[in-house]
Structure 1
Amino acid sequence: MNWISNYVRPKINSLFSRREVPENLWTKCPECGTMLFHRELSDNLNVCSSCDHHMPISPRARFQALFDGGTFVEVPVPAPIADPLQFRDQKKYPDRLKAAQRDTGEPEAMLVAEGEIGRTPIVAACQDARFMIGSMGMFVGNAFLAGCERAVEQKRPFVVFTAAGGARMQEGILSLMQMPRTTIGVQMLREAGLPYIVVMTDPTTGGVSASYAMLGDINMAEPNALICFAGPRVIEQTIREKLPEGFQRAEYLLDHGMLDRVTPRGRMREELITITRMLLGMPPAVVGDLPAPEGGGDLPQEAGPDTPASEPQG
């Protein structure tokens, strides 16, 4: 046995060798630069614990935090034509879609689901800012309308989380046509007397902000979210003037009457429960584990003030 080769050399190599650490264990906050452990960041819903910066969060992660028990059912969305214009810039449009699908694990930029929040059935849709900046194409238009139709069919409120860089240029005029289509969907909800609540996240811009994002019965936003049609840099270059501090951010829009609430992500679920039940004329949600509401997809019938708690709800 060679003592130097079999013992000393491996010992020295272990002391000086560089241990490989997975790159996805830590995330650097883009706002303050703090290194955040991935589990702590995930538990905090992708909000920096140091500066409260709200980072992008996937629709599935958002829905798991939103719905009771993290349980929801996806609403099917009709698939549009894959590449209607045969568009190509530096890459073919189908190649860009495949790359975004590979990176996000989602088929497109919007996910629609139904479930309960605080035992209140709702339909919700969420855009994914990681999927081509959440841009609005034909699929997003189809998904939004599918959510509206499902909400009308089941008589449920419709809650939408927006995140988009605007219309998807690879689909040209077909993308722009989603603006009136989604507006028609909002009108369907109003005619049915159902609440339509919009939560704008960073960023909500372009054709999305010019259509369904600003048409909510209640318009909410996450802190410091960029909400605009044209970005501040474009406006500054056009008018050649310095814009006010925080211009087009959520707090600025709240101060100027464009928003009803700015709510941190950690309190969003409770806020939405309170608002939806208020708009539906229902009593406040009871804290604790309540029995599942009866009546299938219809809204649960709440007990009156004189109804004993032990009586079954109709």
Structure 2
Amino acid sequence: MNWITNYVRPRINSMLGRREVPDNLWIKCPETGEMVFHKDLEENKWVIPASGYHMKMPAKARLTDLFDGGVFESLPQPKVAQDPLKFRDSKKYIDRLKDSRLKTEQEDTILAGLGQVRGVKLVAVVHEFNFIGGSLGMAAGEAIVKACERAVAEKCPLVIFPASGGARMQEGILSLMQLPRTTVAVDMLKEAGLPYIVVLTNPTTGGVTASYAMLGDIHIAEPGAEIGFAGKRVIEQTLREKLPEGFQTAEYLLEHGMVDMVVNRHDLPDTLATLLKILMKTPAANDDSAEVLALAPVAASA
């Protein structure tokens, strides 16, 4: 027994009132290495102030920030079978679900809400990347389908914010079945004549990109977002070629016609409201008519 470590040091710490400091108080910018206090980052919508780097934004915070006054109706999470394949790798799938629910305080990766954005009623669907990488499983697929059905019932647009590594391997073919199911749900919106806008966030990859994430009437991307199907390293190994600088970034896809707009997170609510007023043929107020006219060619070309 080391009496200095086990007795003396704890006594000194207790007398001085020393407390353990959480390791997440300061966030490091992946681009510049700048350290940002977590409260400042949250107040700036998880965007690094100096570099403008867009960090991953929690799903609940994104919905609160998007809707007017942070007020919205949370859509219920559909009930589906838990761990239908009894899957286990290094850990039981059911245990992974429990851990993710404890960490995110969500039932699964999808959160959906109904509310107004600058006076425009819409349904918003958001991926939570911290829930098993935002992967698409049965619960997520069913939540997206139900959100589309609610948008049709309310006769309002739907905006989705994907952030995912793709299909959830622990659910196998049942996960892959969500790709056609969500595609059919998007077709329901289009048959009803309702706008469907996709805001691509970092990262949007795999089966999500191969389905509903690239079926929007308009595709908006956040700056620097990684968007693609297979990873850059996999593509390079397959083609045996070096890919261009910035490949699969939002800016690269904008330059090559895969994305309509790259919009800073701070400007998203205003941009979405303006585009939706155009698509829904809502008369514009005098104070934002110039902005509507400026964005009209973008919406028309989409």
Deviation at 1:31, TM superposition (A): 2.2
Aligned mates of 1:77, 1:193 — CA distance in 2: 26
Q: Provide the secondary structure at the position in 2 that maps to 1:213.
A: helix
Q: Provide the secondary structure at the position in 2 that maps to 1:113.
A: strand
Aligned to 1:152: 152
Whether 1:57 and 2:57 are equivalent positions in the alignment is yes
Aligned to 2:166: 166
Aligned to 1:307: none
Q: Report the AA paired with residue 104 of structure 2.
A: T
Q: Provide the secondary structure at the position in 2 that maps to 1:172.
A: helix
Q: Report the AA paired with residue 31 of structure 1.
A: E
Deviation at 1:17, TM superposition (A): 8.9
Aligned to 2:212: 212
Aligned to 2:202: 202
Aligned mates of 1:106, 1:53 — CA distance in 2: 26
Residues 216-270 of structure 1: CA distance to partner in whole angstroms, max 9, x if unpaired?
0001110111110101110011111110000011111111111111101111111
Unaligned runs of 5+ in 1: 1-11, 289-314
Deviation at 1:285, TM superposition (A): 5.1
Residues 13-69 of structure 1: CA distance to partner in whole angstroms, max 9, x if unpaired?
899996643333221122221111111100111011121111111111011111000
Larger radius of gyration between Structure 1 and Structure 2: 1
CA RMSD for the aligned pairs?
A: 1.9
Whether 1:252 and 2:252 are equivalent positions in the alignment is yes
Deviates more, 1:27-36 or 1:46-55: 27-36
Q: 1:19 to 1:171 in 2, by over 3 A?
A: closer
Q: Provide the secondary structure at the position in 2 that maps to 1:204.
A: coil
Q: 1:263 to 1:20 in 2, by over 3 A?
A: same
Aligned mates of 1:60, 1:284 — CA distance in 2: 30
Aligned mates of 1:166, 1:106 — CA distance in 2: 19
Aligned to 1:87: 87
Residues 130-168 of structure 1: CA distance to partner in whole angstroms, max 9, x if unpaired?
111100000111011011000000000000000000000
**Equivalent runs, 1:59-78 vs 2, <5 Å:** 59-78=59-78
Q: Provide the secondary structure at the position in 2 that maps to 1:23.
A: coil
Query: Would you say the 8 A contact 1:182–1:212 is kept in 2?
Result: yes
**Equivalent runs, 1:1-314 vs 2, <5 Å:** 20-284=20-284
Aligned mates of 1:225, 1:55 — CA distance in 2: 10
Q: Provide the secondary structure at the position in 1 that maps to 2:172.
A: helix
Unaligned runs of 5+ in 2: 1-11, 289-302
Total equivalences in the alignment: 277
Query: Would you say the 8 A contact 1:118–1:285 is kept in 2?
Result: no
Aligned mates of 2:265, 2:237 — CA distance in 1: 33
Query: Would you say the 8 A contact 1:273–1:285 is kept in 2?
Result: no
Which has the larger share of helix?
Answer: 2
Q: Provide the secondary structure at the position in 1 that maps to 2:125.
A: strand
Aligned mates of 2:112, 2:24 — CA distance in 1: 28
Query: Would you say the 8 A contact 1:136–1:175 is kept in 2?
Result: yes
TM-score normalised per structure 1: 0.84
Aligned mates of 1:236, 1:168 — CA distance in 2: 24
